Amino acid sequence: MASSDLVFSVTRGKPVLVSPAKPTPHEFRLLSDIDDQECLRFQLPAIQFYRNNPSMRGRDPAGVIRDAIAKALVFYYPFAGRIREGPGRKLTVECTGEGLVFIEADADVSLKQFGDELHPPFPCLEKLLYDVPGTGEIINCPLLLIQVTRLTCGGFIIAGRLNHTMSDGAGFVQFMSAVAELAQGARAPSVLPVWRRELLSARDPPRVTHMHREYDQVTDTKGNITPLDEMAHRCFFFGPPEISALRKQVPHHLRTCSTFELLSACFWRCRTIAVGAAPDEEMRYIFFCDVRAKCQPPLPAGYYGNGVVLATAISPASKLCQNPLGYALELVIKAKSAVTQEFIQSQADLMVIKGRPHFTVPGTYIVSNVTRLALMDIDFGWGNAVYSGPARGIVYDNIPDISSFHLRFRNAEGEDRTMVSICLPQPAMERFVAEIESMIKEPIISSSYKFTTSAL
């Protein structure tokens, strides 16, 4: 049975609040001006699958993880608080100690039934990550919701939903790694949390010194939204042969580019062709750029806020479609190299001056790269995860056809691949597949999935 056809039922316990295991300070902490921008004001779902481990027989994963979360919240106590909004839409965490939402559940399904190769979108996600009424807003709601679902085989699934204004993917992994260490008996996390959100806040007075075309105000002249049931979602897998085939299509001086840069350029170009953009339409490739090492000095180890800024490459559709792959690749590399300390500071200043704008949507393709996060290595005592990462292959629910994730993936043979997910209207997807496969000369996609409400 394909995992997309899997049907199962889940019995849930009553949602509870898990608060810190010891008293924590009641205080107010400002988020950074990168944290509280409009495009990060959403709930980010993640999911982890674990096999049965005979050596853990008699241990309840839900109980072990719940207790470890309470211990971790002593160190990460802002996660037990609530977001408040002040003048100028400025967000602050009130460290109330109320706790995060925790659910334990049992499903009448085994891990094997999900298939040999796990990747998004996952069937019946709403059963594995229950949307507790009243918890889904950014303001005045719990900052984390975690559900642990036991499986019939002894394995289990952890699904979480993070208020993105609090942390990015790296920050979430840092928190869950701390939970895992405490679950295995550590007295404190090996990496202690660092707040220091002022490091990514605006100057006084703020001054914008870069153009930041990722936040251009562009009118959407198309105005048509494809119904979700007419959208197709596919996952593409790239190993050494496919990457090598793409590198051969770019000039020699560009062949030392990263896999992320290469695949980004490839998908940006092929997507532009597939959607049938007008020749003079301005196409944007926007990506989340990790700035932890780019800041001067680098952000301290343990920083668990949003350590990312948006960067963008722009081109008329005609040039993207008519030029070879190297054209798009040069634009992507240039956009990445433009992210300097001054660029980072200027973007934080822009948030204050422009009222925390959303990124440009018309003509945009936006990508989040999580290939370098140690997602699979989080071990609560049952071993490393079989899959750990985004629960959906899209970044934004309300605009699903403009985004992709780049993920690390290991197939059934134990071979590492880069997986790239993409969502498009069905006719555009067919054209996109043809474009990608013409560049690779062999199939590299999984079974196709059509979005349903539950898959999102």
CATH superfamily of 3-200: Chloramphenicol acetyltransferase-like domain (3.30.559.10)
φ/ψ region of 455 (left if φ > 0, alpha if ψ in -120 to 50, else beta) reads alpha
Residue 322 vs residues 208, 279, 289, 292, 382: alpha-carbon distances, Å:
34, 10, 28, 36, 51
Which two tokens mark 60?
A: 């309840």
Q: Where are the domains of the chain?
A: 3-200, 213-450
Rg of the chain over all Cα atoms, to the nearest angstrom: 22
Place of tokens 């040039």: 319
- Go through the chain and tell me how many residues it has: 456
User: Which residue carries 């500071």 as its tokens?
Assistant: 345
Distance CA 297, CA 278 (A): 43
- Whole-number pLDDT of residue 395: 86
Tokens for 139, please give them.
């303001």
What are the structure tokens assigned to 21, written together? 């295991």
**CA distances, 258 to each of 236, 238, 261, 274, 448 (Å):** 17, 13, 5, 24, 27
- Contacts (Cβ under 8 Å, ≥6 apart) of 331: 265, 285, 313, 314, 315
Residues 6+ apart with CB under 8 A from 187: none
Count CB atoms within 10 A of the CB of residue 383. Answer: 13
CA–CA separation, 350 vs 310, rounded Å?
12
d(CA 216, CA 224): 20
Non-local (6+) Cβ contacts of 137 within 8 A are none
Q: Could you say which of 33, 119, 164, 406 is catalytic?
A: 164
Task: Give the global pTM.
Answer: 0.93
In the three-class reduction of DSSP (H, G, I as helix; E, B as strand; rest coil), residue 376 is classed as helix
Q: For position 228, what pLDDT does the model report?
A: 65
State whether residue 4 is helix, strand or coil. Answer: helix
Kindly report the number of other CB atoms within 10 A of residue 334's CB atom: 11
Q: Extract the residue ranges of the chain whose pLDDT is less than 50.
A: 1-2, 447-456
Nearest to 390 by CA among 159, 134, 52: 159
Q: What is the pLDDT of residue 452?
A: 30
379 is known as an active-site residue: yes
Give pLDDT, residue 364.
Answer: 96
| pLDDT (0 to 100) of residue 455 | 32
Burial class (CB in 10 A: 0-12, 13-18, 19+), 309: buried
One-letter amino acid of 139: I
The 91-94 sheet, strands edge to edge: 28-30, 91-94, 82-85
Q: Which residues pair with 234 in a beta bridge?
A: 422
- Which residue, among 340, 416, 305, has the nearest Cα to 40 in the 3D structure? 305
Q: Do domains 3-200 and 213-450 have the same CATH topology?
A: yes
If phi > 0 it is left, if psi is from -120 to 50 it is alpha, else beta; for residue 7 that is: beta
The 3-state secondary structure of 118-169, one letter per residue? CCCCCCCHHHHCCCCCCCCCCCCCCCEEEEEEECCCCCEEEEEEEECCCCCH
- The encoded tokens of residue 197 equal 């959100």
Fold of 213-450: Chloramphenicol Acetyltransferase (3.30.559)
